[in-house]
Structure 1
Amino acid sequence: MIDLRSDTVTKLTDRMRQVMFEAEVGDDVYRDDPTMRELEEIAAKKLGKEEALFVTSGTQGNQIAVLVHCSLGEEIILEEGSHIFRYEGGATSAFAGIQPFPIKGERGMMSAEDVEAAIKGSDIHEAETGLICLENTHNRAGGTVTTPKKMKEIYDVAQRHHIPIHLDGARLMNAAVALKRPMTDFTQYVTTVQICLSKGLGAPVGSIIAGSSEFIAKARKWRKRLGGGLRQAGVLAAPGIVALTEMVDRLEEDHQHAAWLAEQINALPRVSVVGKVETNILMMDVSETGHTANEFVALLKENGILANAFAPTIVRLVTHYDVSKKDIEETADILKQLIAEKCVK
């Protein structure tokens, strides 16, 4: 099967398997694991923050950030399609006791004006704004990139109102590669950041959160409360080091594959790509095929392609390390055949 469901399905590389086998380990709750300390030091430097902390998933990292930054009964401002709002099981309310205030963005990016208008203060009728959350790249918007310039506009608003910003940067590396800029160009405009090691970078497990030393000290306590304290964690840190030091630049290949596939789709009748493909995610509109997204996904599966229905008539396709140019070419051929044979109204 050609698996285009997500870049989370990537299998770790042979080198990652080898370094896991060879990793020097220790009890990370006692902070005795040298491999984990090395990973966190590398990550902090790459993200331009004082310290970093390994967490078991992007969701855990995002929720720890909310728990550290916010007090019970406060509100977070975030884009209406953001992962924190749509895909983390209502954890911000369940764990932190805060309410989300979603704002409609343009291709996943809120405007600084809308953010400032949504900020609430000391009125006893309203929940005070405790945090602003950004997402880059934006998953639901189709892997779109928010430029550092746009991020700075919101950062300036946050600074004026003394409100922290957390960046869900699960695919921040894709944004950096797409714009050919270091991650620090983006992270300089946020208080804290989360990045995933187990998506396009190919590591088997884990994410990183980074921020000030004070933030990480509090985050470490919340990670323990959430059951995220690990023992001989070097076996997970070792492939994370490979991910951060050897797997970032190759993301450009995934972007090229997605862009090429988008061109082929747009050349076909009855299907089209929604918006511009900027990184490794593309959204395909199948509304003119006579099929729902779920039906179209089932047709793809019958023909050897795995994809996800993302909306009633939108199918998401994600390129990644385990998808070759040959796989992408075969996907285009299968789509052409399906449109000709199964999608005649």
Structure 2
Amino acid sequence: MLPSPVSFTKRRLFHRNATPSHRKLNLLDVLLSRARVTNLGLLVLASLAVVSLLCNLFYLLPTSKDQYHGHSSGLISTIAHSASTHGLTHLIVVPGHAIWKGVDPELRLREDQWILEPYQRGVGRVSAFFAHILRGAELAREDEHSLLIFSGGQTRPTSTTTEAESYMRLAVVANVFQTSTPFIRATTEDHALDSFQNLLFSIARFHEYTGRYPTRITVVGYEFKRARFTDLHRAALRWPLDSFRYIGVDPNTEHSMAAEQGERENGFLPYTMDMYGCHSFLLSKRRQRNRYVRFHSYYTSSPRLRNLFDWCPRELDEGGMLLYQGDLPWDQR
């Protein structure tokens, strides 16, 4: 039955003259009415989904500051940077090439004191390894704003230690730092499996050790590896050329043409096509050297680099692999 004109008019007058509290009540009644319950539920669920999405984005995206990821972590709470590291800005990297297993520094030039690959035997390589350690220590002593990092993982299946730890141990027992107390401006990076990771992980380790990223980098290594580090690894990380230096140290060894040819075929050329070492030949070398299934802590201690750690482009440009295009801490320098 249709409402009479009189009742319809009365209803219109009631709504027009209703107080604010009446209006609120009527709105609530409308929302809670049987026809509106579903819409209200959907609105609440959508709001919760938006809030959850924003929280997850805030958690996952790198922050603008150089800070550890996961502030409440029990592990991170044990980190306290020494006041002596506050002024350090210069990273000195000595990449490892083998593992010293000796205890007597006087025997350091004997090959039986080292765990070597077959191609490293009989050509005087161990004298080059110690020369790199000496030169790195000399540079660190000369620059009070520097941090020396020996870099290299547990790459040999017959060893229980890392390349970096063995270099540091030899440096200490041979007193290359020329001090009777611990040399606080030297440390190890114990996860790198190749030369690209020597550079990248040492930058991350510098941040882990000091709380900041370096402004200058010096790498000490073989002269015949200069192009690999300067033209390929540095470029892959988009590190500025004017704040990067490579020092080649090749004492009297017999590597000559054979070593240079091996470098070109097994190092330089593969990296020109795979600048991040994440495909086929270079990736297989990393896997072979990681028999003990180690992985680094830098996702937590250097969160701004986490996307770079995982960068592995599939497309190729004219010069090789596409460069990483994300934000890097040293972009504004």
TM superposition score category, shorter chain reference: under 0.3
Q: Which has the higher strand share?
A: 1
TM-score under structure 1 length normalisation? 0.25
TM-score under structure 2 length normalisation? 0.26
Q: Which has the higher helix share?
A: 2
